[in-house]
Amino acid sequence: MLFKTSKINEFRLWGLLLTLGGMGLMIVGLAGVVFNWGSIGKIIAGIFMVIGMIAMLGSMAIYFSAGMLSTSAVTLECPECGKVTKVLGKTDRCMFCKTVLTFDSRYASPSDTNLEATDKQ
């Protein structure tokens, strides 16, 4: 994971960045019309509006897929903070305290496996 957050929150972050980037492109492109740059300004505005609209549609697709993933995610209580969080895949992070959570013992840290071994004895 790139930003050390939960996977669902990372999808939402990329959706937000695409939304803001698309809106920013549309606003920058509108400068060609506002500052009256003539016919080239209208062409620039049109190009930036189309690119911004594509970015906004991409963010909508990311938000939709994050919502669909969120509905099918496994929820569990975080052992560190005690809050209910959603886990995607074999490893994920808590949405609140960023603790690494896993269902597979191969991905657990050595301190976690030692704790499990002492609990079983």
- CA distances for 69 relative to 39, 56, 78, angstroms: 45, 20, 19
Q: What is the pLDDT of residues 31-80, one digit of tens each?
A: 888 888 888 989 999 999 999 999 999 999 999 999 998 888 888 888 88
Q: What is the pLDDT of residues 1-11, one digit of tens each?
A: 456 778 888 88
Taking alpha carbons only, the member of 71, 62, 85, 77 closest to residue 11 is 62
pTM comes to: 0.74
